[in-house]
Amino acid sequence: MHILPEPKVIPEISIKLNGTDVASKTVTLTDGVNTYTGTTGSAGGCTIKNILEGTYHVSVESNNLNDIIVSETNTSFEFTLD
C-alpha cells in the first residue's frame, strides 16, 4: 500500500490584480474540495493565509482566471482584469 504524504500548509500567498477596477474584489481559489478567499485592497493586492499546497482555479467575482500551483517556492501571483 502506497501512502501519499500530507500536503504542506503554505503560511501565506499574495495575489495582485492589475487593471482599472481592482479594489475591493473577492478573490477565490478552489481545488474542488478546499476553497480560500481574500479581498483586494485599493491597489489590487490581497493575501490568503494557511492554504494547502496544490493546484487551484482562481476567480475574481465573475471573472474566471487561470489555474495556479501553490507551493513553498510559488507563493506570489499576478493577474490582469479586462
- Domains with residue ranges and CATH for the chain: 9-75 (2.60.40)
For the segment 24-74, what is each residue's pLDDT rounded down to a tens digit? Answer: 999 999 999 999 999 999 999 999 999 999 999 999 988 899 999 999 999
Contacts of 78 (CB under 8 A, 6+ apart): 15, 16, 17, 18
First to last CA, the chain: 48
Could you tell me which of 60, 49, 54 has the C-alpha nearest to residue 31?
A: 54
pLDDT of residue 8: 93
Contact 58, 70 (CB under 8 A): no
pLDDT of residue 82: 76
Question: Model's pTM, two decimal places?
Answer: 0.89
Could you tell me which of 60, 64, 70, 62 has the C-alpha nearest to residue 17?
A: 60
